[in-house]
Amino acid sequence: MFNKILIANRGEIALRIICACKELGIQTVAVYSEADRYSLHVRFADEAVCIGPPRSAESYLNIASIISAAEITGAEAIHPGYGFLAENPKFAEVCETSNLTFIGPRPEVIELMGNKNAARRRMAELNLPALPGTEIICSPKEAQREAQRIGYPVMIKASAGGGGRGMRLARNEEDLPRQLETAQNEAQAAFGCPDVYLEKCADRPRHIEFQVLGDHHGKVIHLGERECTIQRRHQKIVEESPSTQVQEALRREIGAKVIRALREIGYTSAGTVEFLMDADRNLYFLEMNTRIQVEHPVTEMVTGLDLVKLQIELAAGAPLPIDGDTLELHGHAIECRINAENPETFAPSAGKITGIHVPGGIGIRVDTAAYSECVIPPYYDSLIAKLIAHGHDRDEAIQRMKRALDMFIVEGISTSIPVHQRIMNDADFCAGNFDTGFLSRFSANGSGRL
């Protein structure tokens, strides 16, 4: 086991990793930007190193500064969390050449699965079903020709994309050139690569993902699915496990295919294989995230596992301590992402938290690095807390979530708590009747702006 791990991240996920390390008896090193000097991950780590100014490019994305921090503190491994450098194959490779263990899969696996188009092609070869799509699109004329072949509507996707950026829907031939240009510009700005491809857009789809773990001894398992369909602009805001739409037979079928595919590519560490479900409950491969997910707590709540501790143990060479290829899921868990943003316009709401009350009670978990008088800086993602409710069944989980949302108080800034309250009280959501367009219709039905 490692003696000291550097955490190349910030906020609640950095604090979450520190908690796992403390339970494993591992010393921790926090890195922070000047904007995060008084953050909780800095306070609770055993050591902390400032790596640059507030802007991510000069701090949390500065590979040289992070490697230097690891070397001067004597860290043996680096945990990237999610976001920032977590799926950067160059960073993983630099860690290896610097004799630092990267807590994640091998660089070549990150690179393969990080390119959505290449990943989709490889997974199709390994018998995971995929929606009809294209290779990289080079011109509007080619896009129109391919879209006619696939059939409208089509989704334009950034090959190196994530988080909904570089992703646009084209409903017809007239709409395609404008949406193509927008997607390419977004992809260039966000990822430094304008490459996009087309994919058939399923009607009223749902977003389903399978949590996986792989060790260095050839064993891969899955831990069931998460439903991540409630999204705003292709970004998840509510997640739950298990999905009401995935029956045991489908879970076994897709889980077995996922395991076979990931064994073939030599996958290690935690990861998530994402699927689109159509109206007939067919699942189609979308992409893979080669890291821990924001929504990993819902899987932890229904399996009883600590996924971050397992990540660390697997990186140290331990075998998976689980017999078989999956676990039975117990109860139901729901996660609401609490963001620092206006609940009506979704505009970011940076500033000082002047008061905060975090809910508790049976079945409630809160992952956060926020505290009274802390400052939410304007430079990073707006996520300030993850509120997770677990119940014997979905109805109980929803009721506990409602209670927790009512008791979650944040003063001084605006948050998305009112949005989640509306969702939890919506009849269609409670009945499990929704798809990725849920929020747009929710607003259109006069239930309040979202």
Amino acid, single-letter form, for residue 346: F
Number of other CB atoms surrounding residue 296 within 10 Å? 28
Specify whether the CB–CB gap between 319 and 217 falls below 8 A. Answer: yes
Per the structure block, which two tokens stand in for 311? 């990540």
CB 5 within 8 A of CB 74: no
Of 260, 84, 281, 200, the residue nearest 273 (C-alpha): 260
Structure letter (DSSP) for residue 201: P
- Length, in residues, of the chain: 450
Catalytic site residue from 10, 291, 337, 365: 291
Q: Which of 407, 408, 448, 119 is nearest to 289 (CA)?
A: 119
Q: Is 259 helix (H, G, I), strand (E, B) or coil?
A: helix
Q: Name 99's Cβ contacts closer than 8 Å, sequence gap at least 6.
A: none
Is 291 known to be catalytic?
A: yes
Q: Which of 411, 397, 304 is nearest to 357 (CA)?
A: 411
Q: Quick one: how far is CA 340 from the chain centroid? A: 18
Report residue 139 as tokens: 């011109």
CA end-to-end span of the chain: 47
Alpha carbon 19 to its chain's center: 20
Alpha-carbon gap, residue 293 to 217, rounded angstroms: 23
List the beta strands (DSSP E) in 145-299. Answer: 154-162, 165-170, 196-200, 206-214, 220-227, 231-232, 235-236, 238-241, 269-277, 283-289
CB 20 within 8 Å of CB 270: no
For the record, the structure tokens of 11 come out as: 């906020």
φ/ψ of 16, rounded to 5, equals -60, -40
Catalytic residues: 291
